[in-house]
Amino acid sequence: KAGVTQTPRYLIKTRGQQVTLSCSPISGHRSVSWYQQTPGQGLQFLFEYFSETQRNKGNFPGRFSGRQFSNSRSEMNVSTLELGDSALYLCASSSDTGRQETQYFGPGTRLLVL
């Protein structure tokens, strides 16, 4: 079974631009979560989508948004990029069929904002 895939793997943007990152979960998984990883703040939860609905949201400004499609693929968007948005963005999927779920992570998208 293929793992979680994320595209693109690397991205360079300039301040003020916007960016869209994509995540394809493991086949059959309906929950997709996004995390931001930086040296200063560590791993921080951004949001979780389940069946095309945002189910949980972390403490990030409204510039960070996401969506999930009917095939469970998810995208996250960051508008008006700031230097501090430079980070590794990780996507994770889970089957969410019960209480003992495990998240499986993709390799991440490394975003550099100049």
- Note the residues at the interface with other proteins (CB under 8 A): 4, 33, 42-43, 45, 48, 50, 55-56, 90, 92, 94, 99-108, 110
Residue 82 or 101 with smaller CB distance to other proteins: 101
Query: For residue 80, is it left (φ>0), alpha (ψ between -120 and 50) or beta?
Result: left
| CB of residue 4 to other proteins, shortest distance in Å | 7
| CB of residue 16 to other proteins, shortest distance in Å | 27
Sequence-distant (6+) residues with CB within 8 A of 98 are none
Residue 53 or 70 with smaller CB distance to other proteins: 53
What is residue 72's DSSP assignment? S
Query: In this structure, which amino acid lies at residue 107?
Result: P
Residue 45 or 79 with smaller CB distance to other proteins: 45
Q: Is the dihedral of CA 47, 103, 76, 28 positive or negative?
A: negative
| CB of residue 41 to other proteins, shortest distance in Å | 9
